A and B are shown apart, each in its own frame.
Chain A
Amino acid sequence: MSSEAFTLSIPDEVIADVQNRLKDTRWPDELSGSGWDYGTNLGYLRELVDYWQNGYDWRLHEARLNTFPQFRVAMDNCTIHYIHVAGKGDRPFPIVLTHGWPDSFLRFEKIIPMLSDPTAYGGDAEDAFTVVVPSLPGFGFSGDPGPSGSIFTVQRLWNELMTKVLGYERYGAHGGDWGAIVTEHLGRSWPGHVAGIHLTEVSFIHSFQKPGDLSAAEQEYLNGLEQFQMKEGAYNMIQSTRPQTLACGLNDSPAGLAAWIVEKFQSMKGSDDLSKSFSKDALLTNITLYWVTQTIFSSFLPYYDLMHAGAFTWIGEKIKEWVGSSGVPAGFALFPKDNSHPPREWAERFFNVQRWTLLERGGHFTAMEEPELLAEDIRAFFRPLR
């Protein structure tokens, strides 16, 4: 397994094609005054697409992203794309950061330098990390995981990447959304290598357990999850049952793809205003990444696998082993506007909780919105574990 240096370089014709399609967008109507109540707001989307055509410059973002050292390595029939930034300090600690859906490795763009070079951000060189940010299989510039590439196999790839490819025998891990599942599973599977795991949520997979001794707060949390699923979870149901039915249109219509993705950023943002939480440039770079790599379908596969590839059964059995486990130290940084708010006792059923931080601001996309808050919590959690 040898890594090859990688730079983003999208052909001109792909960029020209997306512009042609955007110009040709056939817009649907909308119920007047419905805001975001029926889904992505028409006025907002038109504004975003207008900026995509007339203001946004992919080449500018591509050049900036190429300042990160990036590589690709062929593993297990699935090529993995990753960023690898050496820490600045005497003994930088390796850490792997895992993104979710519908974000990408871009989730960590802002936090990478904060973690690798803390002194440049008013921190301490002692806290420096060597940062590894892979793209999940089926996302961005990683390969297609294939029909059986369950999200639960990713831990093996990540541990191989960290130990065999990069030579780090001991490392930390952080993640949210699917990244929280991968990170948790990584810690449980490789306790000899993983010094600690830092998460921004207790993964929803634990909610399949229904312990008989729930506290009132736990009950409230689980009710909240259910309400979220009813109100906001349709994307999850369609992606896990009929991913191809949906992906055909999203891969053919950039405005449609933007609508599908930006709805999630709107509903799970940390502030009361989408534009305060994310610049149009940040939203469009993430959307463009999905478009040019044509990965919207493969990015749905973790949902599908969970439902179909035996993952539910597997996780059902596995989680029983995980109840009351006191394995690898776990730290939690929870953002107030994220879509669930677990009480600490819920996390303690499954994790060896060493740190529990309720942050004052932020939503589901954590490092994209509040990189400083998150960086500080990651530093503090790993300080005693290095």
Chain B
Amino acid sequence: MKRAFQILVSDEVLRDLTRRLTHTRWLNPPNHSKWAYGTNLPYLMELVAYWRDGFNWREQERELNRFAHFQTAIDAYDLHFIHQRGKGPGCIPLLLLHGWPDSFYRFHKILPMLTDPDAADIDAGVAFDVVVPSLPGFGWTKSPAEIEPDQPLRQYASLLRRLMKEVLGYDRFVVAGGDGGSVLAQIMAIDDPGSVAAIYLTDLGWNRMNIDPGPLPHAEKRYLEESKKLFMKESAYVMVQSTKPQTLAYPLNDSPTGLAAWVLDRFYFWCDCRGDLEKSFSRDELLTNLTIYWVTQTIASSMRMYRLDMKSPSLAAKDYVAVPVGLGLFPKDIGGIPPREFAGRTLNVQHWTEMPGGGHFTAWEEPELMASDLFAFFRTIDLPVRG
């Protein structure tokens, strides 16, 4: 049912990208530097020059192809995923779910640590069989443009469950994710607790912000209020993507510089980089992620997910996740670390780790921290494993 897959972008697409980068019509004059008006222009100019002259996609492509990639058709979707077996017997099957504006690439650093913890000097006593899909509408998983699905995230959750069970043969497994991946993991756990033994989240998911603050104790109310204030300041992109994503898709699919500006803005403001983006991500990493969006032309479909979910939400603010939940929380993630009591209102919290550093991109920014924590939590979960 699954077919081996290799990433191979055509020369023509790469040449076209270089040409567009060369002909960027820059805002002129670039008098608004720093990040106060959004993406810092001098920085963007530097990065775009490197994208054109220094960045080597073929090298990145070779690296990416060292993972075992597959595609499989389920219903109208052709899912792309990495499936990497863990070292040794008794591996725990783990599904890792990314968000926006990252991609399966979010997990490129953590993946080898999870399949071979010994090599990474992690004393785990067990390894994971890791599955990293590109979510529908991201990277090499196209989102069919003919359908406007009801509860799209619930449908994606069902696709991912079928990937794990029917395609890969894992009857019980665990799921970890952040951003959209957190919401999806929760839906999977609610809809099929028989298959999903436990989930690990790096944030509570956007739906929880809609909980009525009225009856909450002071600390939780304050957390919600602060989060909402932050939302007004930082979340214009959500408003655009959940009301008019198509309008924005035109410039971003036509201008690689425009795409870079839109995506980097989120990386900068959500990561734990203290004003220097490249403390958290190398140029090659930032550009590999951007190039994935560019060459697959998925910025439109990835943003569309916000509107699809807004029109037909799958997870209500108060839906309860009964399977064991581990939380690994990174201090610079959106809104900071929530009160544990607040998380406990909707999640069966069995594990709680406040990380010493890191932001919204979790496994990408602090792979060792997150890898160790994933082992610490999932090791405690009782599930039948591959012999």
Chain A interface residues toward B at CB < 8 A: 17, 21, 24-34, 38-42, 45, 144, 146-147, 230-235, 237-238, 240-253, 255-260, 263, 294, 297, 304, 308
* Inter-chain contact B252/A256, CB cutoff 8 Å: yes
Q: Is B332 an interface residue (CB 8 A)?
A: no
The 6 closest A-B pairs by CB, nearest first: A249-B258, A256-B251, A245-B38, A39-B247, A39-B246, A249-B251
* Inter-chain contact A253/B38, CB cutoff 8 Å: no
The segment out of B25-33, B92-100, B117-125 that lies at the interface is B25-33
- Closest-by-CB residue of B relative to A239 is B236
* Inter-chain contact B148/A34, CB cutoff 8 Å: yes
Residues of A with C-beta under 8 A to B251 = 249-250, 252-253, 255-257, 259-260
- Closest-by-CB residue of B relative to A294 is B28
Interface centre among B24, B246, B250 (most CB of A within 10 A): B250
Contacts A40-B247, A144-B31, A255-B251 known; list 17 others, CB within 8 Å: A28-B252, A29-B145, A29-B301, A31-B145, A41-B246, A234-B239, A238-B236, A238-B237, A241-B233, A244-B38, A248-B257, A250-B258, A253-B258, A257-B251, A259-B248, A259-B251, A260-B247
* Inter-chain contact B246/A38, CB cutoff 8 Å: yes
Alpha-carbon distance between A31 and B192 when the two chains are bound, in angstroms = 29
- Closest-by-CB residue of A relative to B311 is A37
- Closest-by-CB residue of A relative to B246 is A39
Tally of contact residues, B, Cβ under 8 A: 54
Interface centre among B36, B243, B297, B299 (most CB of A within 10 A): B243
Q: Return the CB mask of B102-126 against A: 1 if under 8 Å, else 0.
A: 0000000000000000000000000
Residues of B with C-beta under 8 A to A31 = 145, 148, 246, 304
- Closest-by-CB residue of B relative to A263 is B247
The segment out of B57-65, B259-267, B277-285 that lies at the interface is B259-267
* Inter-chain contact A242/B250, CB cutoff 8 Å: no
Alpha-carbon distance between A218 and B260 when the two chains are bound, in angstroms = 44
Q: Is B86 an interface residue (CB 8 A)?
A: no
Q: Return the CB mask of B12-38 against A: 1 if under 8 Å, else 0.
A: 000010001001111111011000111
A-B contact pairs, 25 of them (CB 8 A): A17-B25, A21-B23, A26-B254, A28-B250, A28-B253, A38-B244, A39-B243, A144-B29, A235-B244, A241-B236, A242-B236, A243-B38, A245-B39, A245-B265, A246-B248, A246-B262, A248-B27, A249-B252, A253-B254, A253-B255, A256-B251, A256-B258, A259-B246, A259-B248, A294-B25
* Inter-chain contact A256/B255, CB cutoff 8 Å: yes
* Inter-chain contact B240/A253, CB cutoff 8 Å: no
* Inter-chain contact B300/A249, CB cutoff 8 Å: no
Residues of B with C-beta under 8 A to A230 = 243
Q: Known interface pairs A39-B245, A248-B44, A294-B27. Does A32 touch B145 (Cβ–Cβ under 8 Å)?
A: yes
Residues of B with C-beta under 8 A to A40 = 244, 246-247, 250
Main SS of the interface on chain B?
Answer: helix
Alpha-carbon distance between A237 and B32 when the two chains are bound, in angstroms = 19
Q: Known interface pairs A245-B39, A246-B262. Does A28 touch B244 (Cβ–Cβ under 8 Å)?
A: no
Q: Name the distance in Å between B187's Cβ and chain A's nearest Cβ.
A: 21
Q: Is B191 an interface residue (CB 8 A)?
A: no
Chain B interface residues toward A at CB < 8 A: 16, 20, 23-29, 31-32, 36-39, 41, 44, 145-146, 148, 233-237, 239-240, 242-255, 257-262, 265, 297, 299-301, 304, 307
Alpha-carbon distance between A377 and B29 when the two chains are bound, in angstroms = 41
Residues of A with C-beta under 8 A to B255 = 248-249, 252-253, 256
Alpha-carbon distance between A41 and B246 when the two chains are bound, in angstroms = 8
Contact of A244 among B32, B300, B307 (CB under 8 A): B32
* Inter-chain contact B257/A263, CB cutoff 8 Å: no
Alpha-carbon distance between A255 and B27 when the two chains are bound, in angstroms = 16
- Closest-by-CB residue of A relative to B242 is A234
Interface centre among A33, A231, A250 (most CB of B within 10 A): A250
Residues of A with C-beta under 8 A to B235 = 237
* Inter-chain contact B26/A251, CB cutoff 8 Å: yes
* Inter-chain contact A26/B246, CB cutoff 8 Å: no
- Closest-by-CB residue of A relative to B32 is A244
Q: Known interface pairs A28-B249, A31-B148, A233-B239. Does A255 touch B254 (Cβ–Cβ under 8 Å)?
A: yes
Q: Name the distance in Å between B322's Cβ and chain A's nearest Cβ.
A: 33
Residues of B with C-beta under 8 A to A294 = 25, 27-28
* Inter-chain contact A234/B27, CB cutoff 8 Å: no
Alpha-carbon distance between A257 and B31 when the two chains are bound, in angstroms = 21
Residues of A with C-beta under 8 A to B260 = 248
Q: Name the distance in Å between B150's Cβ and chain A's nearest Cβ.
A: 14
* Inter-chain contact B244/A39, CB cutoff 8 Å: yes
Alpha-carbon distance between A259 and B253 when the two chains are bound, in angstroms = 12
* Inter-chain contact A234/B240, CB cutoff 8 Å: yes
Q: Known interface pairs A40-B247, A243-B37. Does A249 touch B262 (Cβ–Cβ under 8 Å)?
A: yes
Alpha-carbon distance between A250 and B245 when the two chains are bound, in angstroms = 14
Residues of A with C-beta under 8 A to B29 = 144
Alpha-carbon distance between A234 and B235 when the two chains are bound, in angstroms = 10
Q: Known interface pairs A29-B301, A260-B251. Does A242 touch B145 (Cβ–Cβ under 8 Å)?
A: no
Residues of B with C-beta under 8 A to A42 = 246
Q: Known interface pairs A249-B251, A251-B26. Does A238 touch B239 (Cβ–Cβ under 8 Å)?
A: yes
Residues of A with C-beta under 8 A to B297 = 26, 28-29
Alpha-carbon distance between A333 and B301 when the two chains are bound, in angstroms = 42
Q: Name the distance in Å between A259's Cβ and chain B's nearest Cβ.
A: 4
* Inter-chain contact A256/B254, CB cutoff 8 Å: yes
Q: Name the distance in Å between A293's Cβ and chain B's nearest Cβ.
A: 11
- Closest-by-CB residue of A relative to B21 is A252
Alpha-carbon distance between A230 and B240 when the two chains are bound, in angstroms = 10
* Inter-chain contact B234/A241, CB cutoff 8 Å: yes
Q: Name the distance in Å between A14's Cβ and chain B's nearest Cβ.
A: 10
Residues of B with C-beta under 8 A to A246 = 38, 248, 261-262
Alpha-carbon distance between A256 and B249 when the two chains are bound, in angstroms = 8
Contact of A249 among B23, B41, B246, B261 (CB under 8 A): B261
* Inter-chain contact B262/A245, CB cutoff 8 Å: yes
- Closest-by-CB residue of B relative to A237 is B236
Interface centre among A42, A242, A255 (most CB of B within 10 A): A242
Q: Name the distance in Å between A348's Cβ and chain B's nearest Cβ.
A: 31
Alpha-carbon distance between A164 and B247 when the two chains are bound, in angstroms = 43
Alpha-carbon distance between A294 and B244 when the two chains are bound, in angstroms = 23
Q: Name the distance in Å between A253's Cβ and chain B's nearest Cβ.
A: 4
Residues of A with C-beta under 8 A to B254 = 25-27, 249, 252-253, 255-256
Q: Name the distance in Å between B378's Cβ and chain A's nearest Cβ.
A: 37
* Inter-chain contact A248/B39, CB cutoff 8 Å: yes
Alpha-carbon distance between A26 and B295 when the two chains are bound, in angstroms = 11
* Inter-chain contact A242/B37, CB cutoff 8 Å: yes
* Inter-chain contact B249/A234, CB cutoff 8 Å: no
* Inter-chain contact B301/A259, CB cutoff 8 Å: no
Contact of B258 among A235, A238, A248, A297 (CB under 8 A): A248
Interface centre among A42, A235, A250, A253 (most CB of B within 10 A): A253
Alpha-carbon distance between A234 and B248 when the two chains are bound, in angstroms = 11
Residues of A with C-beta under 8 A to B307 = 38
Alpha-carbon distance between A259 and B237 when the two chains are bound, in angstroms = 17
Alpha-carbon distance between A294 and B26 when the two chains are bound, in angstroms = 9
